[in-house]
Structure 1
């Protein structure tokens, strides 16, 4: 893709894209799976799991410093050769495709349960995927602006629970370290899977217009993402305790029903509307990444044709994940493989940059 003026990112847009690529639909469900492992210490596991996105961000900062104008797709072919490099790039594509499919299907399942039971999964998927693909094809600059706007729209969702703390008790979080260090460590590994996303920066850092601010923008974006994850797990357990949290598929969404605003009859629907910006933003980022990498394999093919191809394929594949339990079981098995590959792949590129340059 050529870097036209519409494909240039400011440092703040770069930061919000990082935040948007990490904080997605998994936030709603993370407390549910985490309390089953580390119980009331799940928020500590979330903090410890932040090592993964921090590590990936440091790798991105290092690689971008050495090659500010070339992304990981170029470096993969440079160091591994065209044949192996393309194979690794294809494998690098899979996490973005799978995350796009998984989050899209998960979002459709949430919508059906909480607001649009009358709509079939097929109709919802057609609409959701069309909106995200249409936005993605507009380019990285539009995505940057969207991420920035979405952050400010959804920021109140993070702040509002502070005004209802009296409706529960801090005892739900005690005793701290009561679950044991081994369980906290196991929970942190589970959290790492929800932190997938910072790898997207390895594709787009050449588009930032001020390369000197990559480090600052990256660290702020990733630390903000980690803080949001910790806060959401913390406040969900604070409100419900571990028993209710472990039985709710989307416990943080259920926590929104506790928030009482006098002029709003049902805050849940306002919450769903605002949270939709977060999920749609995340899906858009992953679809953009998928099309971007596919374009690297098909340089002579117009990017619009790639999006047209991705559309029906995505709708078809998402239909296999309309059962929420089955969706979580599938991604629970495949996510560890993706994380291991991403760590090895990105670390290898960084190591080769260090050794050869």
Structure 2
């Protein structure tokens, strides 16, 4: 499963949706909450500036892929740093996928217990989520690409439906534009960058793209598509609630959906949670694939099925430690900046070595 074959490939459109899927998980439901505390009504502007981080990672991947179209970052790490140090760096590269994966799993259980499946325990939800996503990732990158493409078209209407109820609030909630000050907008953009973590996945899978001439355009489209959606989510939440309500709600975008009134649908929120579940499963499947892919590269002689069976109970166990939502967010707030700094240094070092020695 981990070896590239003709049957394991991604089309340019699938590559776009894999990028989109790797970036869009649980974060966008809570994203406006933390951001308005910094950038206030200008949080949507911070979201635009924050795209600098995923754009940088994309450009590094584009550059590396031109020099090594058939080799990913794991190979290059060992090539330039040697097997010992290279393997250590690769395992460190795996940690962000593990941390965000655990956070997504527990965060999903937290939301479902509040809004939907109150009759289930967090442990049961985590077991089901982890099992489904691990099984999907086991089927390979080609299936993941198809899943990402299908889910994009299924869920996009649910994200755009708030357009129908714009008259229920006021455009004054986003004014004055730039009123929070340039300093706060820039501070908010740093917080936004942390929400874009996950794009590093393309450094693993770019060799699977069947038309490498379109890698650049597909990468940039995927990044900007995600940015547009994040900007829309932040903008529409502030538009509906203003900064005071948004900053006090744990999942403000989800709360904004309460305003939507569609004939024949008693509670639109539940339909949205169902569609959002697809987004979450897609994102987790991508992260599980990345984790097993890296571990398989480290343990070449180990059967991939054994790796899946090995990490399943570990993931379930560790996810239970983050089933308190405030604890989960505090934990992410502390470790995410460290992970981003490491990823920037690691990816930049590989790109620099490719430039010097390639």
TM-score by length of structure 2 reads: 0.99
Match of residue 94 from structure 2:
93
Alpha-carbon distance in structure 1 between the residues aligned to 2:124 and 2:330 = 24
Counterpart position of 1:316: 317
| Secondary structure at 2:197 match in 1 | coil
Partner residue in 2 for 1:226? 227
Which whole-Å CA distance do the structure 2 matches of 1:157 and 1:255 have between them? 13
- 1:181 offset after TM fit, Å? 0.8
Corresponding residue for residue 41 of structure 2: 40
- Quote how far apart the aligned CAs of 1:6 are: 2.9
- DSSP-derived class of the 1:253 partner: helix
- Do structure 1's residue 171 and structure 2's residue 211 form an aligned pair? no
CA distance in 2 between partners of 1:158 and 1:124 (Å):
24
- CA displacement, residues 310-348 of structure 1 (integer Å, 9 cap, x when unaligned): 110000000100100000000100000000000010011
Give the aligned partner of residue 162 of structure 2.
161
Give the secondary structure class of the aligned counterpart of 1:7: coil
Unmatched runs of 5 consecutive residues or more in structure 2: none
- 2:240 is matched with 239
Distance (whole Å) between structure 1 residues aligned to residue 320 and residue 3 of structure 2: 34
Structure 1: state its 5+ residue gaps: none
Give the root-mean-square deviation of aligned CA atoms.
0.7
Q: How does 1:115-130 map to 2 (within 5 A)?
A: 115-130=116-131
Cα separation, 1, equivalents of 2:354 and 2:106: 38
Aligned equivalent of 2:292: 291
CA drift of 1:52 comes to 0.5
Question: For residue 261 of structure 1, what is the aligned residue in structure 2?
Answer: 262
Shift of 1:257: 1.3
SS at 2:7's partner residue? helix
Deviation at 1:299, TM superposition (A): 0.8
The alignment status of 1:114 with 2:115, answered yes or no, reads yes
Residues 147-166 of structure 1 deviation map (CA, whole Å, 9 limit, x = unaligned): 00110011102221111100
Which whole-Å CA distance do the structure 1 matches of 2:342 and 2:318 have between them? 23
* Count of paired positions: 357
Distance in 2 (CA, whole Å) between partners of 1:205 and 1:305 is 26
CA distance in 2, matches of 1:122, 1:269: 22
Q: Distance in 1 between matches of 2:6 and 2:115?
A: 41
Is residue 343 of structure 2 the alignment partner of residue 342 of structure 1? yes
TM-score (structure 1 length as normaliser): 0.99
CA deviations over 1:130-149 (Å, ceiling 9, x no partner): 11001010000110000001
What does the per-residue CA deviation read over 1:101-157, in whole Å, with 9 as the maximum and x for residues that have no partner? 011110110000000111111000000101100101000011000000110011102
Match of 1:148 in 2: 149
Query: Could you report, residue by residue, the CA deviation over 1:172-203 in whole angstroms, capped at 9, with x for unpaired residues?
Result: 00001111111111111111111001100000
Partner of 1:202: 203
Task: Give CA deviations for 1:29-86 in whole Å, capped at 9, x if unaligned.
Answer: 1100001111101101111111100111011111111100000000000111111111
Deviations 1:250-285, CA, capped at 9 Å, x for gaps: 111111111111021110100000011111110110
Partner of 1:281: 282
Q: Where do 1:185-200 residues align within 5 Å?
A: 185-200=186-201
Q: Which residue of 1 aligns with 2:81?
A: 80
| Alpha-carbon distance, 1:5 to partner | 3.1
Deviations 1:294-321, CA, capped at 9 Å, x for gaps: 0001111111111111110000000100
Residues 5-24 of structure 1 aligned to structure 2 (within 5 Å): 5-24=6-25
1:32 and 1:245 in contact (8 A); partners too: yes
Give the whole-Å Cα distance in 2 for the aligned partners of 1:121 and 1:327.
14
Contact 1:6 1:139 (8 Å CA) reproduced: no
Q: What does the per-residue CA deviation read over 1:183-226, in whole Å, with 9 as the maximum and x for residues that have no partner?
A: 11111111111100110000000011111111111111111011
